[in-house]
Every structure is written in structure tokens, then in C-alpha cells.
Structure 1
Amino acid sequence: MDKDLYKLEVLSLVQRVAQEIFNFTAINDKSLAEFVISLHGDSKGDLALFKKKLNDIGAGFQESFIENIK
């Protein structure tokens, strides 16, 4: 049961991030959302590191977008 709940939470998170990406860029891409989530996880809660990772790949997301998904 816990495994099913975890999967549902992950799907919900991916959908939320995908919606934020769409709101800011008009790009509807689940894989991109999963990639951004992965970068966030790699940053271990460090907002500055997350921003740096996004900038390093040339994401070009606005500050308000990054703040919304942190």
C-alpha cells in the first residue's frame, strides 16, 4: 500500500511541475518535469545549487518559476 501511495505522490509532483513549466514556457513535457525534479533532488534542498544547475544546462527559467517549484 505504501508503494502505491508513493507512486501516486510522484505522479502528482510530476504533474504539478509539468503544469508550472507549461505556465511559464507553454511547453508541455512530462520528461522535462521529471528532469527538473531530478535536478532539484540532486541539489538536496539548496536553492542556490538548484538555480546553478538550471543555469548550467541553459534552462533560462525565470526566477519566479524557480521560486514556485522549489
Structure 2
Amino acid sequence: MVLKVILALFLPFLLVILFTRVCYNHYVGTSLTAALLIASYVRGFTDDPLIIALDIISLVAGYLYARKMKAELIRKK
């Protein structure tokens, strides 16, 4: 259970950052990560509400960080 909590805190955040860097768009990165999370919920891989809540918190944190990262990149140009 501890491993699931740790992964729920960090994995969606890192996926949003990865997809944002690949696609150069933080909306696409967040959407792809959300789609992966929803697919895992529908398939039944996650059944604990705590893990779902931590996934959502991490997804939002990743979105906010990706938005900040993009704003800094635009400001440098």
C-alpha cells in the first residue's frame, strides 16, 4: 500500500511533465495523463479512493508545474 501511495503522488506528475515536453503543450500532456488514469480506473486497477484522490492531486500539481515551465520558456525568448 505504501508503494501505491508513493507512485500515486509522483507518477502522474512525472507523466504530465514528460508528455508536455514531448508535445510542447501542457493541455495535451495533462489530457493524455488523465486519459491513462481514467483507463486504469475503468479497467479496475485502482479501487481505493485515497489512491484516486492522490492521483488527481498529482495530476493538478503536474499541470500547474507544466504551465509554469511553459511560461518561463516563453519569457526567456
For normalisation by structure 2, the TM-score amounts to 0.34
Higher radius of gyration, 1 or 2: 2
| Bigger relative contact order (CA 8 A; separation at least 6) | 2
For normalisation by structure 1, the TM-score amounts to 0.37
Higher normalized helix content (fraction of residues): 2
